[in-house]
Structure 1
């Protein structure tokens, strides 16, 4: 038996439930009508499709409930219990509402599934970023800890630096004080050494001999410059070591006198002799040396410090054109010319006065 379909016009399968309209005799699937499957025979025998229900004349009632088909000839017999109950037709509004509910349900389901998919994709894509942020966070924690250590080390270094600076300041003050004390001691030592040489004269550039007699040489020198001294007034004669070992000059002779006046007497005689003989000042031939004629100098016996100062003063005076440099009483004097005032040089710092 062929069926005329009023819904999808196709058979969905032998197991698909359907219903036949009592008006147009078309077949409808329950699923297409969005109705639950009905097993009531009475209802099945009286059911009409929505189109047939709309074509049925309405009663004079004010409601819109479709009436049953009055054209159907019914017998006088009561319907059997197995006949389908009369079911009101489904209107288009109800179908629209049903479809709207289904669409809304499907749309919500689709939205939920889409949200879950998006969240899953975002979680998947964000996982590397989360891992990187975690690594950065761990690195920042490590750097913060390291920074704290560096700050502690810096604070310790700052304290140590302050302590060192304080100690250095104390040491500088101590060194300055010690330097001042050393300078004072050097000056005192130099003064003491010079005082010990107060009775001495230094005779320079006297030729050396293997079996020389220094006392005889000094007496001969006294005779030449006409200085009459007793033998008892000369207490000691000796040669001293050279300051510059590479110099070809003979070692100087240091003569110690019994008194300072005896020393000054011989020195004054030498100065007088040189002034009297400007072209033939005291020299080696005057005291009996037949070798090459060399000048002989007689000066005060200076301490090592004063001797170095005297040499520096002579060099500076020569550079600046000073005419006179002399020593008297262990002190060094300079004068630019015969008319200018003399200058006393006490130490290396006062050499700056020569200008």
Structure 2
């Protein structure tokens, strides 16, 4: 194959890189126009067998050999015929090149579209494969969050029920405490009433200097009476007395009396 820029030894024009013959003796290169060889003959005779193409000799070298059967053709035509054939060859080559270029562009465009579709499908497959485990993990996470949310709602309901029960129990305890306190007062009153007709005589073995007659009180009333006397001394109350088993206190002659029912009344005195 001749390199680009190789000049024909006959017409001194640049030869076609594919359609030319090179002499095996002198290495001269000739184009088909100068050899008067058609493309069809070149393709059928020299294009099929590379050995014939390598063994070809130019007319100049062939003339030096003995006469015999020779397929070589005369070199050079007239200038006008050569120029005309060159122009036709160039026009044909231009048309062929444009057709080949257009066909090549169409092939390249079709291959590019196929390549883009292939890449797009591969990207979709890759993304789908990569996102599948993430999607599964998100589904599991959503289920876990929903389960935790349900558990939290149940916990809130249970806590509200416990708080409600606590408030009810607290109210019941206060009511029971109040009832117990009232029953204790009633019990002391009943016990004191049962001792109404009892008489307690103290200090009979000593000379009588002062004789006091006291009502016979229950043990709890006796303890409350003693606490009332101590509180009266502490707060400077002048009067502390018991009547019908009930304890009363008065700070002065003009002040109101206080009924001491239990120790809480004594704690509130000022």
The TM tier, using the shorter chain, reads: 0.5 to 0.7
How far apart are 1:152 and its partner, in Å?
2.9
Aligned counterparts of 1:300 and 1:104: Cα–Cα separation in 2: 133
Aligned counterparts of 2:163 and 2:116: Cα–Cα separation in 1: 70
Aligned counterparts of 1:156 and 1:178: Cα–Cα separation in 2: 32
Change (3 A) 1:170 1:329: same
How far apart are 1:325 and its partner, in Å?
2.8
Q: How does 1:133-212 map to 2 (within 5 A)?
A: 133-198=131-196, 199-201=198-200, 203=202
Structure with more helix by fraction: 2
How far apart are 1:130 and its partner, in Å?
5.4
Aligned counterparts of 2:201 and 2:113: Cα–Cα separation in 1: 122
> Does the 8 A contact of 1:7 with 1:27 survive in 2?
no
Are 1:220 and 2:205 matched, yes or no?
yes
The answer for the alignment partner of 2:49 in structure 1 is none
Greater RCO, 1 or 2 (C-alpha within 8 Å, sep 6+): 1
How far apart are 1:94 and its partner, in Å?
0.4
How far apart are 1:107 and its partner, in Å?
4.1
The answer for the alignment partner of 1:342 in structure 2 is 257
Aligned counterparts of 1:24 and 1:348: Cα–Cα separation in 2: 146
Of 28, 34, 40 in structure 2, the residue corresponding to residue 24 of structure 1 is 34
Of 258, 263, 267 in structure 1, the residue corresponding to residue 212 of structure 2 is 267
Q: Secondary structure at the match of 2:16?
A: coil
Aligned counterparts of 1:117 and 1:157: Cα–Cα separation in 2: 55
How far apart are 1:6 and its partner, in Å?
0.9
> Which consecutive residues of structure 2, in runs of 5 or more, have no partner in the other structure?
1-7, 25-29, 47-72, 74-78
> Which consecutive residues of structure 1, in runs of 5 or more, have no partner in the other structure?
15-19, 46-50, 58-64, 67-87, 204-217, 227-265, 269-298
Aligned counterparts of 1:202 and 1:7: Cα–Cα separation in 2: 160
Change (3 A) 1:105 1:309: same
CA deviation vs aligned residue, 1:226-245 (integer Å, no higher than 9, x gap): 7xxxxxxxxxxxxxxxxxxx
Are 1:324 and 2:239 matched, yes or no?
yes
Change (3 A) 1:91 1:170: same
How far apart are 1:97 and its partner, in Å?
0.9
The answer for the alignment partner of 1:39 in structure 2 is 44
> TM (normalized to structure 2)?
0.56
Aligned counterparts of 1:171 and 1:329: Cα–Cα separation in 2: 38
Aligned counterparts of 2:102 and 2:154: Cα–Cα separation in 1: 77
Change (3 A) 1:144 1:200: farther
